[in-house]
Amino acid sequence: MQTYLVGGAVRDELLGLKVKDRDWVVVGATPEQMLARGFTQVGSDFPVFLHPKTHEEYALARTERKQGHGYHGFSVYSAPDVTLEEDLLRRDLTINAMARSEQGELSDPFDGRKDLEARELRHVSMAFKEDPLRILRTARFAARFQPLGFRVCAETMELMRSMVAEGEVEHLVPERVWQEIQRALHENNPATFFQVLRDCGALAVLIPELSPEAHFSAAIAALQRVHASNGSTAERFASLLCALDEPAGTARAKALKAPNDCQQLARLTMIFTPAIQQLDPLQPDAGVLLKLLEKADLWRRPERFAQLLNVLACTLEPANRAKLEALQNAAKVASTVDPKILMEQGFLGKELGDAIRTERLARINQALSSLLS
């Protein structure tokens, strides 16, 4: 029985980066032997165990064989006779297919260290073609390591294009696609993820609405600004769809199975973008501003409204960003209306709601008059 540190931990160590998670592969062992040593089995599709003290994952060496389409179309073979090299051969990229023994010796059968030095993302073998999810993973690694100068090598890019042309990407389930998108949105350069997907043709399958150059350019520029502001996942996703019309963008967000908070913020962004653009910068309409605040559900969802303002500040052109000030001022003064005071004056039920709205509108008008005078 031999134990090796594998994958990202070895890669990051060689790059001089902080190692966050450590994964291990065990060669020459059986599940019974692992259990006898106090490990807890957690894998159902193949034997994965948790260390009794560190709780790090230890997987028995295994091989995989393609049997169908998509991410789940594999049969897995795990036994004591599976070698370390056979286990590393099934991995996606050469930089992720290195291992270090307990004695510190590096195993690098596919020249991953050479590709690290050359700053290239290269597939380990043609088995890469069997899993379309690897296209998204490669794009995500490109986004993570772009600041270090990494790029997808020509051979791997061509392989990814052929996978897209053969329809493999169409078999990916939305939940897995979203998982990769969500992680990519928080990588060091998230725009690179979508650029790689576009270059290999996968973006046209997964988010075809971004295919037009104008839409793609607007999305990337907005995403870069939201990323620079350290925006939340919802804000980053909303910026990605900012240039789309609301029906198409909402349908795509739903198809991607994005969480509700991401879908809702994206929808508001798509609604508010043209609405802000249409505001008169010299004489904004108080009624329009109040309707926008109501549509944003400001008084019940103030945190989301703050997110919306941040996204709009990143997605709108400079000339239109200045109009956000009118919306912010309207929100500020309208929020000073106290329903309790109106209730004390005898307003109840529908009359109370009408009185609150009337007072909010009056205060917005008053604030606009003060600014214009």
CA atoms of 163 and 112, how far apart (whole Å):
23
Q: Report the largest interatomic distance among the alpha carbons of the chain, rounded to a whole angstrom.
A: 84
CB 119 within 8 A of CB 126: no
Distance CA 259, CA 33 (A): 41
- Spatial contact of 147 and 133, defined as CB atoms under 8 Å apart: no
Chain segment 202-220, per-residue pLDDT in tens: 999 999 999 999 999 999 9
Mean pLDDT of the chain: 93
Q: How much is the pLDDT for 73? A: 53
Instruction: Tell me the CATH class for 1-118.
Output: alpha beta
Is residue 160 predicted with pLDDT exceeding 90? yes
Q: What percent of the chain has pLDDT over 90?
A: 83
The DSSP secondary structure of 141-171, one letter per residue, reads: HHHHHGGGT-EE-HHHHHHHHHHHHTTGGGG
pLDDT tens, residue by residue, 219-250: 999 999 999 999 999 999 999 999 999 999 99
Residue 21 pLDDT > 70, yes or no?
yes
**Has residue 71 got a pLDDT over 80?**
no
Q: Is the pLDDT of residue 104 over 90?
A: yes
Instruction: Give per-residue burial for 76-89: e unless 16+ CB within 10 Å, then b.
Output: eebeeebebeebbb
Please give the backbone phi and psi of residue 100, each rounded to the nearest 5 degrees, phi first: -130, 130
For the ranges 43-47, 180-184, 369-373, the lowest mean pLDDT is seen at 369-373
268, 269, 272, 278: CA torsion to nearest 10: -160
Percent of the chain with pLDDT over 70: 95
3-state secondary structure of 41: strand
Q: What is the pLDDT of residue 67?
A: 54
Domain positions in the chain? 1-118, 272-372
What was the pLDDT predicted at 68? Answer: 56
What residue type is assigned to position 125 of the chain?
A: S
- Ramachandran area for residue 159 (φ above 0: left; ψ -120 to 50: alpha; else beta): alpha
Instruction: Say what the pLDDT of residue 63 is.
Output: 86
CA atoms of 373 and 369, how far apart (whole Å): 6
User: Per this entry, what is the length of the chain?
Assistant: 373
pTM, two decimals, is: 0.89
Q: Map tokens 């190692």 to a residue.
A: 19
